[in-house]
Structure 1
Amino acid sequence: MHQLAQDESVRYPLAQHVLQKEIYVDDVQSGHDTVDGAIKIREDLIAALQSAGMCLRKWASNHPDLLVNIAQEHMSNSTILEVDNHDSIKTLVARLYDPLGFIVPVITTAKAILKDVWSVRIERTAGVSSPLEWDETLPLDLRERWNDYITRLPDVEAIQVPRWLMFNVAV
């Protein structure tokens, strides 16, 4: 996706940021302050991906104008997102409501550490190695990574995201 963003940055400049920063595995979650701006991003993104033979599916939006000209078979089961709607659109396996991906780095870091813990092998006897036992101490490098992660985790509480309430205030 990063290569596509770079290759198509001149023809589809609005897609570049989305392709580099707003994709989690195979899901795109993006937006804009205005409907017109979001439509322009949508058009650039669709065109950039089509240039590589790809097509976006599972479309959903909090505004119906963003879904105009999207084929019905490319829509999500829940196409219109509302602030008070209790339905959720599942992104990969995430159930956390983080539509802009602000806490993805926090989650990804924890998953990376966990993956590394699962892959640790300890030499037991005569060159035979096995995974860590449930209550075994982590190797020092993983302990340090985990402790650093836990130490910095409370900083997430400082993240504040102002909500758009579907109206603009004239200043």
Structure 2
Amino acid sequence: MSPKDRMFQLIVWRENPSEKLQIYQLNTVTYGTATAPFLAIRSLHELGVRHKETHPLGAKVVCNDFCVDDMLTGADDADTLKEICVQVSDILSSGGLQLAKWYSNHPTLINGNETDKVLSFNDTDSTKTLGMRWTPKSDIFRYHLDSSFTDLSPTKRTVLSVTARMFDPLGLLSPISIKARILLRELWQNHLAWDETIPMQMHTRWERFKENLRNLDKVSIPRYTNSSKAKIQIHGFADASTTLMAAVYIYELIRMEK
């Protein structure tokens, strides 16, 4: 944090009520400030730019394959993937940053046969990324939603809370989540208060929706894998009704001849 701006990050503190209040000045950027997301990502990009000549593979990944503090990347072969890991670790270490965990679907990396001590791959069943669970060995995505919502009263506040918890950037759960969004829209149209019990007809629909959520753990989606040796065609479809509109894009991979 620039010294001239540190006076705006003051913390009033004391260990117990009998002590005098002390004022501390925070010298680092605080998570939660308006500029924090930009500065975090901009810092990563700056590290990538500084090392693009010495670490070209890692610099490209640092600049393009991060979503906040999660890195999602890959390669067509294990040797290239290992080199990416080494270069990315070197780049981030130069800025005082250390990646905490590595996961891979490649058997040699999962089993811990990597030769470089910088790399430490995790052989766990799954890891969470962008709202999903990824199982490296089987290379599939799964979803999990906290079941605590089952005991909540059916109100507009509850419907909004559960809908907001379904973080689904890829839209794979849209056939399920759209029902909750339609219900939430109708609750607003009926001018219901936040904690008012919803009408019986809507209550029945809400119970059916919750039943679908209880089976969310059974949904498994194979991870889409692209290759530099494949040609891609994109097919788009769209439709609409008085209730909603939808668009679907299908990626078709055509293997290229060697």
TM-score, normalised on structure 2? 0.36
Cα deviation, residue 19, structure 1: 1.0
- Aligned mates of 2:83, 2:126 — CA distance in 1: 25
> Rg larger in 1 or in 2?
2
Q: Which runs of 5+ in 1 are unaligned?
A: 79-86, 99-103, 108-133, 137-146, 163-168
> Which letter maps to 1:154?
A
- 2:247 pairs, out of 145, 154, 167, with 154
Give 1:13 shift. Answer: 0.7
Q: Which residue number in structure 1 is paired with residue 122 of structure 2?
A: 76
RMSD: 3.8
Q: State the Cα deviation string for residues 133-165 of structure 1 (Å, max 9, x = none).
A: x616xxxxxxxxxx9xx76x5243x13468xxx
Q: Take 2:100 and 2:74, find their aligned partners in 1: how far apart are those partners? A: 16
Structure 2 letter corresponding to 1:27:
D
Other-structure match for 1:17: 60
- In structure 2, relative to structure 1, the CA distance for the partners of 1:53 and 1:5 (3 Å cut) is same
Instruction: Mark the CA change 1:92 to 1:155 in structure 2 (over 3 Å): closer, same or farther.
Output: closer
Report the structure, 1 or 2, having the larger helix content. 1
Runs of 4+ residues deviating >6 angstroms = none
Q: Which has the higher strand share?
A: 2
Identical aligned residues as a percent? 27
Corresponding pairs, count: 116
User: CA shift at 1:8, angstroms?
Assistant: 1.3
Structure 1 residues 6-155: aligned runs within 5 Å: 6-66=49-109, 67=112, 68=114, 69-70=116-117, 75-76=121-122, 78=124, 87-95=125-133, 135=188, 154-155=247-248
Shift of 1:51: 1.0
Which structure is richer in relative contact order (CA contacts within 8 A, separation 6 or more)? 1
**Inter-partner Cα distance in structure 1 for 2:130 and 2:100:** 13
User: Does the aligned pair in 2 maintain the 1:15–1:44 contact within 8 Å?
Assistant: yes
Q: 1:56 & 1:50 partners in 2: Cα distance?
A: 9
